[in-house]
Amino acid sequence: MSLENLRNQSFPLKTTDDWKTKAEESLKGKSIETLKSSTYENIILKPLYSRRDDQKAPDYPGGSDFRRGIHPLGYVTNDWKVAQRISYLSVDELKEKLHASVEKGQTAISFEVSEVLFKSKGIIDDILGDLPAKFPFAVNGRGMQSALLEAVAERWGSSEQASGYVGSDPISLFAEEGFIGEDYFKCWLDDIKLANEKLPKLRTVLINTSTYHQGGANAVQELGIAAATGAVYLQKLLDSGMKIEDVPGKMIFQFSIGSNFFMELAKIRAARILWNKITQVYGADSKDRGMHIAAETSLFTKTVFDPYVNLLRSGNEGFAAVVGGVQYLHITPFDDITGSSSLSERIARNTQNILKDEAYLRTIVDPAGGSWYVEALTTELAEKAWQYFQQIEAKGGMLEVLKSGWLQDEISTVYTKREQDVFNRKQSIVGTNVYANIAEVAGYAKVQTFNNPKSVDFTNTINIRKINNVRLSEPFEKLRKISEEIERKSSSKPKIGMICLGELKSYKPRLDFMRGFAAAGGIEAVDSGSITSLESAKQFILKQDTNYFCLCGSNEQYESLGHGILSTLNREFPEQTFYLAGLPEKDVHSKWKNEGITQFIHLKSNCHEILSTILSAMEVELDGRTQA
C-alpha cells in the first residue's frame, strides 16, 4: 500500500446503535437501560452522552449564561483565592497563623469569627497589620458581621484597601438556630448600606447554602435555596434604596462541595446560570450578573475513623470546585472533625497549591467545557433547580418555607434516603461502613457552636425547626463508640463467632464478607476454622465469650452440613443467637428460621440496624452480669 493510499484510509463510521449492540454483548444479554442510574436529585445518568445532549452550551467563558465562568480567560487572568479558614484559641495564635499562612500560599484573609476578636479596641488592626492592602478578605461574619465591619471600616475604610468579602446570611443563621428574628433585617440592612459607603470594594451580603448541604440537601435543593435567598436579599436591598447596578457587587454565594464529583462541578456551573437569569429579570447589566462563589469542601462527607481517607475526599471535592470555577476555596483539614492540627492545616493549604502549580488548573480556561456529559448535567440541574426555586417562591419565599417546616421536611426526606443507602452499604464510606479497622480508636468529634445572629432582644421572633448539621458517617461512629464502651467494661472487644462450614475455599468468601460487615460496628469476627462435624462446632461455641454466631459457607455446605448442625446447636445452646451469611432461596427461608436462624446477613442487609441490635443486646447482657 502506498503512502497516499494510507493517508486516504479511515475508520468506518459507527452509530449509537452499533455501540448499543456491542455494549449489550458485553452485558451478556442485559439491556443497556441497566447501566442507567438515578441520583439524589432525581436525575437519570446515562452510560453514553453525545453532541446532541449538549445543545445549550455557550461557546466561550465569561459570556452568555456564565456557566463556563465569569471571566473570558478564567483563572489565567483571575486566579481563585486560597481562603483556608484559620481556627484559633487566642488572638496571638490567630495573628501568628495568619501571617505564617500568607507566606506559604494563602492568598486571602480568612478566619473563624469569635468574640475574642472584639475584647479590646484596635485588636483587629493589630492582628491583620498591612495584610488587607495585599490580600482580599474571605470571612463569614455570622452574627458578628456588624462588629467586624465596624472594625475594618475604622482602619481601612478611607483608603479603600479592603476587598473580598465580610458577609453574613441571616436566613441561614435562622435555619441553624431555630428561630426567625424578622426585626434583625433592619439592623443588617443598615450595616450593609453603611459598609457600601465606607468599604466600596467589599462584598457584605452572603448567601450561605452550606447550612442546608450539612443538613443533607441535594444539589437541586441547594441551588433552589441559593436562588430564593439571593432573590430575598436582592429585593430587600433595592427596597432600602440601593441601585440595581450596585447590589450584585455586594453579594457572594457560598457552597459546600460534596463527593459526587461531576454533580458538584455541575452545581457550581448551574448556580451561575440561575443567578444570571434572576439578575437579568431585575434589569442588571450583563457585566454585573456574574456570580462570585466561595466554596468549601464538605464536612457532611468526612469521617472520624480512618481520617486520612478525608485527604482523598477533600482533594476530590476541591478539584471539583476549581474546575467548576469558584473564586474562593477552603479545603477542610482531614482531622477537622476532632480538631485540626498544624500538619492537617498545612496539607489542606498545600492541596490548593498542588491544584494550581502541579495540576496546572489555573493555566487552563474551563477544563470541563465542551464535555457533553458535564454540559448536559449542568443544563438539567439548572432546569430542575429553577423549578425548585419557583416552588419556594410559590409558597411565599424562603422565610415562609422555613416557618411552615416545608423546607426542613424536603431536606429531611433526602437525608433519610442518603442515610438508608449508607445503612445498606449501597453507598460506601471507606473506613466506616466498609473496610473499617476495628483496631482503630478515634477521637471524639468536637461540638460545633454558633453565635446568635444578633445579641439584641427581638420583638418579632418566630420559632422554627432548625436544620441540624450532620455527617453521613455519624450513625456508624456511634456504633463504634458503643463497641469501645463494651470493650472498656469487659476488657474484651465485642465478638461474633463465625462457624465456618467445610473447606477454606467454601467458606472464605462469606467469612471475608462477614468480617467487613461486623467491623463496621467495631465487632470482631472470630472464625472457627474448618468445621466438618457437629462436635467441632460445639467445641468452638463453648470456647467463645459471646452469644452471637454466624454460619459461613457455600450453599452446598449449607445444605449438606448446615441444617443438621444448626438444629442441634439451637437446641443445646438456647441462649445463643445464630445468623446465616448469605440469602438462601425463598422456599427454604422458613426451614432455616425453624432451625434457629435469627436473620440472614447478605449484601442488601441493613448493616447498621443489625449491628445496632447486636450491640444493644450485648450492652444489656453486660449490664446484667455487672449487676449480678
- Local confidence band at 283 (pLDDT 50, 70, 90 cut-offs): very high
pLDDT at 288 over 70: yes
Contact 121, 95 (CB under 8 A): no
Average pLDDT score, the chain: 92
**Mean pLDDT for the stretch of residues 317-325:** 98
Report the distance separating Cα 213 and Cα 224, nearest Å: 12
What digits encode the pLDDT tens for the residues 446-497?
Answer: 655 555 554 444 567 899 999 999 999 999 999 999 999 999 999 999 999 9
pLDDT at 396 over 90: yes
What digits encode the pLDDT tens for the residues 31-59?
Answer: 888 999 999 999 999 999 988 776 666 67
Closest by CA to 202, choosing from 300, 316, 109, 309, is 109
Under 8 Å CB-to-CB from 461, ≥6 apart: which residues? 179, 180, 181, 182
pLDDT at position 55 is 64
- Looking at residue 456, the DSSP 8-state letter turns out to be S
Cα 21 versus chain centre, distance: 38
pTM of this prediction exceeds 0.75: yes
SS3 state of residue 175: helix
pLDDT at 573 over 50: yes
As a whole-number percent, the residues of the chain with pLDDT over 70 amount to 95
pLDDT at position 174 is 95
Least confident range from 198-202, 330-334, 402-406: namely: 198-202
DSSP, residue by residue, 34-96: GG-EE-TT-PEEPS---GGG--S--SSTTSTTSTT-SSTTGGGTSPPEE---B--SSHHHHHH
pLDDT at position 115 is 86
pLDDT at position 455 is 42
Cα 327 versus chain centre, distance: 20
**Mean pLDDT for the stretch of residues 283-287:** 93
- Looking at residue 573, the DSSP 8-state letter turns out to be -
Radius of gyration of the chain (CA): 29
Contact 175, 211 (CB under 8 A): yes
- Local confidence band at 628 (pLDDT 50, 70, 90 cut-offs): low
- State how far the alpha carbon of 423 is from the alpha carbons of 434, 435, 503, 516, in Å: 11, 14, 31, 14
Helix (H) or strand (E) holding 377: helix 372-394
Classify strands 179-181 and 461-463 as parallel, antiparallel or unpaired.
antiparallel
pLDDT at position 626 is 67
